[in-house]
Amino acid sequence: MWVDRRVRDTGGNVLGVVVDVYEDPNTRQPTWLAVSTGYFGTRIVVVPICGSALLGDDVVVAHNRETITKAPAVEIFVAVTPDHHRQLSDHYGPSPRDGGHA
């Protein structure tokens, strides 16, 4: 459902395309989107699914381009480890469902 969809930030800027979805290992719920970015799609960034919405064929994520491009690196097609999860959560802050702001 998410893979191959174009990704936009909160300002409507196109960031790239979803190449993978990472699940929470405990709940098995989708938690993170791996997005290929850059001119040739060679850089991968990880963005929280929480707060995201579908808009036509696109995914609109709950963060701006600057926040997303500064996110900690995660290897593509490798599960997000608990350490990666902590780093990403620290970077993006609490999710909207946890009472935080996107």
Encode pLDDT of 2-11 as tens digits.
999 999 999 9
In a domain, 46, yes or no: yes
Q: Is residue 62 part of a domain?
A: yes
Evaluate whether residue 53 is within a structural domain: yes
pTM value is: 0.77
Tell me: the pLDDT tens digits for 29-86?
888 899 998 777 678 888 999 999 999 999 999 999 999 988 877 766 666 777 777 8
**How far is 15 from 43, CA to CA, in rounded Å?**
11
Number of domains in the chain: 1
Range of the domain at 62: 6-98
**Separation CA 102–CA 91 (nearest Å):** 11
Q: End-to-end distance of the chain based on CA atoms, in angstroms?
A: 22
Residue 1 lies in a domain: no
